[in-house]
Structure 1
Amino acid sequence: MSDWASPKPDPKGGVAPSTTRVANLAQHLTRNARRLGDSLALVYGSDRWTWAELDARVSALAAGLRADHGVEKGDRILVQSQNCNQMFETMLACFRLGAVYVPANFRQTPDEVAWLAESSGAVGMVCGAEFPDHARACDTAARRFVLTIGGGADDIDSLIAAHMGAQVPNTTVDRDDPCWFFFTSGTTGRPKASVLTHGQMAFVLLNHLNDLMPATGPADRSLCLAPLSHGAGIHQMAQVAAGAATVLLPPGRFDPAVAWQIVQDERISNMFTVPTIVKMLVEHDSAQAHDLSSLRYVIYAGAPMYRADQKVALKVLGKVLVQYFGLGEVTGNITVLPPAEHSEDDAEMRVGSCGYPRTGIEVSIQGSDGTELPPGQSGEICVSGPAVFAGYYNNPEANAKAFRDGWFRTGDLGYVDAEGYLYITGRESDMYISGGSNIYPREIEEKILTHDAVSEVAVLGVPDPTWGEVGIAVCVLHAGAAVDPDDLLAWLKPKISGYKLPKQVILIEDMPKSAYGKITKKLIRETLQERGLLELPAEA
């Protein structure tokens, strides 16, 4: 763990000089511009750029940031934007300058983004024109500039145009020099800035290409379905490393029909998303109306995919699913379950497993005292390897909790089988205790999803005066389906142990999800409280 785990009082948050020089991440773009200059690099709506054109725009932006706004190595640049070419270019320009890319979840409130700006020490901001309140909230003395995407006096495209033709070399960087502040989702309290470095990311990109998308190269095209602020940004940087083109969804509400049309027209070979989006895609009628034969890898992560949804996706797409398990702090690099190990047949698949450890990564299941537990025994999933982040920025308390004896503690619970395949049983924060028994919601959720009427489910624990906590099951039904909550409980009762049976089923029309399409218990709990739906049956 580098000095970033316990940052020194440096206004730029710098670290002690390293003797290990590595290639700047933007070198991938430089190489592609030289070798693949006229090949397609990026698509956004009707606009298309070659590698040479993309490199020229990134150099112009880097030149403008340096000359007009004084951006130097180590400076943090906050980005509040939906996916667009300018966001992609800003990421690469930050890398080229040795600055730090600090993307925000674009669905956060102005106050939340202002907190990110303050806590990261950002000196400047790139902000979509549709977020004026966010720009104002971040307009403090510490911000030297705000560039706007999509118009305005300080439009980023105007800055690029003013410096077009400038040649900006990639700044010399060392292994431990930061390149990205990857904010956690903040499901429990304030988000924390995970410090990703040039050396760490070099390993991550190679690992992605080796373990998730073997043989990906310049002939491939990748559809970006998720926000570039998090896992999709890592995934698309892997495409840059491979020389493969990135296709961004056009602006507007996510539409499966539009996504499938792009897959057909652009001959998309890979895409990365979360299980809930895969579910939306494969259950949409348009999946049957388009040619999807170009797809080789549909990569899902962020949460385990329920078995019922896996089977539907495999039936629609064939053997192209790739699952990985990886937190932002390990930059998506913990386990992989490749296409060959996915099957509709339960007898041919390790049902419930998220795969085996990624290349160069070690997984250890540990007890509360740090003792490694044997196969089959559940404990905390801990990780070591070159993909583990440098630590949380300016947060020594969080670092002390996150690391133990060189292992990063994920906070996820699970076990490995005799061959090293990992099974996630839940998050420590999702577990609840009812009548003295630990209950992990995932097992119950898997059972409920086998009911024909249920499309989505989340089980969470709520306070109870008798048992301490009891479970409630929040369900979304398939379109046109109907089931009485009491009948659903009666159907579930013989399928699980009595103490695990939820005390209540609540039916809602739409499941609350995070900006990245994840079903999060925090959002569900908040939604139920807002709607006054958390009252339990009298007998509870």
Structure 2
Amino acid sequence: MAGPAGGDPKGGVAPQSTRVANLAHFVTRSARRLADRPALVWGERSWSWREFDARIDAMAACLAGRFGVTKGDRILVQSQNCNQMFEAMFACFRLGAVYVPTNYRQTPAEVAWLQEAGGAAGVICNASFPAHAEACNASAKPPRFVLAIGEAAFGEDYDALVDAHLGESVPNTPVDRDDPCWFFFTSGTTGRPKAAVLTHGQMAFVATNHLNDLMPGTGAADASLVVAPLSHGAGVHQLAQVAAGATTVLMPSERFDVAEAWSLVERYRISNMFTVPTIVKRLVEHPAVDDFDHSSLRYVIYAGAPMYRADQKRALEKLGPVLVQYFGLGEVTGNITVLPPAEHSLDDEVARVGTCGFERTGMEISIQDEAGQELPPGTSGEICVAGPAVFAGYYDNPDANAKAFRNGWFRTGDLGHQDEAGYLYITGRASDMYISGGSNIYPREIEEKILAHPKISEAAVVGVPDPDWGEVGIAVLVAVAGETVSEAEIGAFLAEKIARYKMPKRFVFFEEMPKSAYGKITKKLVREALEERGILAGEAAA
């Protein structure tokens, strides 16, 4: 059949509406189909899909009728994981409003800045954070209203409002593909956090892709344990669970208790969980891993950072072939690569050691040089990505958008290379690399080598100024519990494994590695810890 004449890029087809399903429809269809099956479990309480949908309806009716929330309004949520936080997400979606969750461990001033920068019309704040609510109300652009999850003096009670509006039905607001649904704040490793704008169409693709590429076969018979804050990657993961009709199980408290996590896996026959490598490490090194039945697990999904090979092997030995790795930033909604269970192996000759996987369905990776030219396989450069999972841009931040996009590609700021088969290997963040004596040093390579030492549990290498070499490395290490190890021992161990110019100048031992609220080791926090101990000042003086 001949193609359309005239070179019309749309193929002669008139433009159509870009309307998509509202993300809250995930709840609607599960409530219709699975009405009395459990949607959410928290502690000793559970809510069926019918009850979950009704509570979302009630909050949506309250937000719209009592507080005048309409499509496009932003609602900031400051809370640790709880049923109300999960409901609020879908209540916002249902109204076409924008869900703006915070990292609940941020300070009152930081959260007030997020509320002001995001132009939030309202705030839903857990009673545990009165200072945060007060700071938002005192900001230059205070919210129209504040709701309190739990008994608090600073706002109307969330549950009382839900009870008052139960039975009211709110239809899902019509939305287009590019209508915003979520402001996903970056971690702010440099400067202020930026609000990545996620949209209904983008998130529908991500939920579908998660189910296809990360945890195929997930459905209403499955259950997912939440061991990370719902404000970020775990929230996206749970959105996919809702889409599949699977049960979401929250940890009973904000404190992560490994034994409790394994008891929930056994009790609810958990089939998947999303976490980060440091939490996987804690799960498999704790004695409780052998005390509870975890045979129901099919997918233990880890992201946020590559897993060190030693930790990966230990997890495979304890859990079997259930590990799934992915690489993705908030701006791409965790949707760049996947390394499925079948491609995790204990055998170094079989496994592609060090890879974070291949491109997710519908996504494309390009390794580019500083000028934006694509580099051949095996050559390191900046990891750039295109596809339906890429966000719409940063809210009200044209300078950041200009830096983040080039020729249609989103620039991740991560460095790496692809092999001939398309598997991606991350070298590190561009900001983590340092130059010593004119040579580029990538900390991750050194960290991997250090972690092969049986007495080392965690490692982080950072570059610091040096009068002779420009920059040198400092390795921050945490020893395995009960073990004693010296700088000289690690230096001798490393000397046979890396070139001399890559050798860290110093090895510093911490009792505990600084980590973000999401359990990730970040170089920013490591540097701050070194500064607090006066180590960086000492190096500069030397």
Do the two structures share a fold, i.e. TM-score over 0.5? yes
Could you list the per-position Cα deviations for residues 428-450 of structure 1 after superposition, in whole angstroms to 9, with x for gaps in the alignment? Answer: 00000111111000000000001
Is this contact kept in 2: 1:74–1:99, CA < 8 A?
Answer: yes
Could you list the per-position Cα deviations for residues 88-144 of structure 1 after superposition, in whole angstroms to 9, with x for gaps in the alignment? Answer: 000010000000000000010111111100110001101111101100000045311
AA of the residue aligned to 1:41: A
1:369 to 368, 371, 385: 371
RMSD: 1.3
Could you list the per-position Cα deviations for residues 144-203 of structure 1 after superposition, in whole angstroms to 9, with x for gaps in the alignment? Answer: 111111113511001100101000000000001000000000001110000000000010
Match of 2:399 in 1: 397
Cα distance in 1, alignment partners of residues 392 and 25 from structure 2:
22
Cα distance in 2, alignment partners of residues 535 and 98 from structure 1:
51
1:334 to 319, 333, 336: 336
Is this contact kept in 2: 1:335–1:357, CA < 8 A?
Answer: yes
1:518 to 492, 517, 520: 520
- 1:467 and 2:469 aligned: yes
Could you list the per-position Cα deviations for residues 200-222 of structure 1 after superposition, in whole angstroms to 9, with x for gaps in the alignment? Answer: 00100000000000000000000
Match of 2:180 in 1: 178
1:301 to 292, 300, 303: 303
Cα distance in 2, alignment partners of residues 117 and 359 from structure 1:
35
Is this contact kept in 1: 2:466–2:539, CA < 8 A?
Answer: no
Cα distance in 1, alignment partners of residues 147 and 519 from structure 2:
28
1:497 Cα shift? 0.3
Cα distance in 2, alignment partners of residues 537 and 69 from structure 1:
56
Cα distance in 2, alignment partners of residues 286 and 533 from structure 1:
37
- 1:32 and 2:36 aligned: no
- 1:415 and 2:413 aligned: no
SS in 1 for 2:160: helix
1:538 Cα shift? 10
Match of 1:279 in 2: 281
Match of 1:509 in 2: 511
Match of 2:81 in 1: 83
1:278 Cα shift? 0.3
Could you list the per-position Cα deviations for residues 215-242 of structure 1 after superposition, in whole angstroms to 9, with x for gaps in the alignment? Answer: 0000000001110000000000000000
Match of 1:69 in 2: 67
Is this contact kept in 2: 1:18–1:174, CA < 8 A?
Answer: no
Deviates more, 1:140-149 or 1:323-332: 140-149
AA of the residue aligned to 2:215: M
Match of 1:249 in 2: 251
Is this contact kept in 1: 2:281–2:315, CA < 8 A?
Answer: yes
Cα distance in 2, alignment partners of residues 298 and 156 from structure 1:
33
Q: Taking structure 1 as reference, are residues 205 and 245 closer, same or farther at Cα in structure 2, changes over 3 Å only?
A: same
Is this contact kept in 2: 1:378–1:413, CA < 8 A?
Answer: yes
AA of the residue aligned to 2:485: V
Match of 2:497 in 1: 495
Is this contact kept in 1: 2:531–2:537, CA < 8 A?
Answer: no
Match of 1:216 in 2: 218
Cα distance in 1, alignment partners of residues 369 and 287 from structure 2:
46
1:367 Cα shift? 0.7
Match of 1:530 in 2: 532
1:434 to 426, 433, 436: 436
Q: TM-score, normalised by structure 1?
A: 0.96
Q: TM-score, normalised by structure 2?
A: 0.95
The total of aligned residue pairs comes to 524
AA of the residue aligned to 2:80: Q
Deviating runs (4+, > 6 A) in structure 1?
A: 537-540
Is this contact kept in 2: 1:29–1:51, CA < 8 A?
Answer: yes
Cα distance in 1, alignment partners of residues 538 and 280 from structure 2:
33
AA of the residue aligned to 2:308: Y
SS in 2 for 1:57: helix
SS in 2 for 1:364: strand
Match of 1:191 in 2: 193
1:357 to 340, 356, 359: 359
Could you list the per-position Cα deviations for residues 17-61 of structure 1 after superposition, in whole angstroms to 9, with x for gaps in the alignment? Answer: 993000000001000111110111000111100000000000000
Match of 2:323 in 1: 321
Is this contact kept in 1: 2:81–2:254, CA < 8 A?
Answer: no
Cα distance in 1, alignment partners of residues 541 and 468 from structure 2:
10
AA of the residue aligned to 1:234: V
Is this contact kept in 1: 2:121–2:145, CA < 8 A?
Answer: yes
Match of 1:270 in 2: 272
**Percent identity at matched positions?**
71
1:67 Cα shift? 1.1
Cα distance in 2, alignment partners of residues 193 and 297 from structure 1:
30
SS in 2 for 1:348: coil
Q: Taking structure 1 as reference, are residues 88 and 145 closer, same or farther at Cα in structure 2, changes over 3 Å only?
A: same
- 1:130 and 2:128 aligned: yes
AA of the residue aligned to 1:28: F
Is this contact kept in 1: 2:224–2:270, CA < 8 A?
Answer: yes
Match of 1:5 in 2: none
SS in 2 for 1:495: coil
1:533 Cα shift? 2.8
- 1:259 and 2:261 aligned: yes
Cα distance in 2, alignment partners of residues 361 and 354 from structure 1:
15
Could you list the runs of 5+ residues in structure 2 that have no partner in the other structure? 1-14
1:486 Cα shift? 2.3
1:539 Cα shift? 11
SS in 1 for 2:326: strand
Cα distance in 2, alignment partners of residues 515 and 218 from structure 1:
31
SS in 1 for 2:267: helix
SS in 2 for 1:106: coil
Could you list the per-position Cα deviations for residues 400-442 of structure 1 after superposition, in whole angstroms to 9, with x for gaps in the alignment? Answer: 0000000000000000000000000111000001111110000
Cα distance in 1, alignment partners of residues 211 and 300 from structure 2:
13
Q: Taking structure 1 as reference, are residues 18 and 72 closer, same or farther at Cα in structure 2, changes over 3 Å only?
A: farther
Match of 1:6 in 2: none
